[in-house]
């Protein structure tokens, strides 16, 4: 009986450790963008934030930003660029794909 209790508590512990990882992996592009990117780029990607103005960010929906290929966008997010932080260590490739898809929806 005691053994079973230990097994159950271990299972609960493992689930508590593993589940949040799955929850973030399932995050959608708009959620990820709002939580990780909007501080600089603004919720709509236009860069209308104090930080965005300071960094002179271009509007991610502009023709200039949209002319980058999916691979280029992915590379910028994964490896960073200039003052743009790298997200390769913080986000999964699937999450970065979601972000690229989201950036495409910003196209004007
Ligand atoms: C600390 C502020 C900051 C945060 C947070 C940030 N960025 Fe950036 N981002 C920048 C800067 C600065 C540049 C311009 C880099 C350059 O061209 O030198 C940039 C450029 C980009 C570009 C290339 C656009 C272009 O052509 O100039 C993309 C795409 C981009 N960011 C996506 C994202 C995504 C997606 C996130 C969230 C995962 C994010 N950024 C978070 C600062 C930030």
Q: What's the pLDDT score for residue 15?
A: 66
Could you tell me if 84 and 58 are in contact, meaning their C-beta atoms sit under 8 angstroms apart?
no
Residue 20, class by beta-carbon neighbours within 10 Å (0-12 exposed, 13-18 middle, 19+ buried)? exposed
Which fold would CATH assign to domain 28-105?
Cytochrome Bc1 Complex; Chain D, domain 2 (1.10.760)
Residues of the chain with pLDDT under 70: 1, 8, 10-26
How many Å apart are CA 100 and CA 56, to the nearest integer?
21
* Distance in Å, CA 45 to ligand 1 centroid: 9
Decide: 82 in ligand 1 pocket, CB within 6 A: yes
Decide: 84 in ligand 1 pocket, CB within 6 A: yes
Q: HSE on the CB side for 72, CA within 13 Å?
A: 7
Residue 81 has phi, psi (to 5 degrees) of -165, 120
- Enumerate the β-bridge partners of residue 81: 84
Q: Which residue has the tokens 């196209």?
A: 107
CB neighbours of 65 closer than 8 A, spacing ≥ 6?
58, 59, 103
Decide: 87 in ligand 1 pocket, CB within 6 A: yes
pLDDT tens figures, 24-41: 545 899 999 999 999 999
Decide: 79 in ligand 1 pocket, CB within 6 A: no
Domain coordinates in residue numbering, the chain: 28-105
Q: What's the pLDDT score for residue 35?
A: 94
Nearest atom of ligand 1 to the alpha carbon of 60? 24
């Amino acid at each position: 009986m005691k053994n079973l209790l230990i097994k159950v508590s271990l299972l609960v512990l493992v689930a508590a450790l593993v589940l949040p990882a799955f929850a973030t992996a399932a995050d959608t592009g708009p959620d990820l963008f709002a939580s990780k990117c909007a501080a600089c780029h603004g919720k709509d990607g236009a860069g209308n934030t104090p930080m965005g103005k300071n960094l002179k960010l271009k509007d991610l929906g502009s023709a200039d930003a949209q002319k980058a290929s999916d691979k280029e966008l992915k590379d910028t997010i994964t490896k960073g660029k200039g003052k743009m932080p790298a997200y390769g260590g913080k986000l999964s490739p699937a999450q970065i794909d979601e972000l690229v898809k989201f950036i495409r929806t910003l196209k004007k």
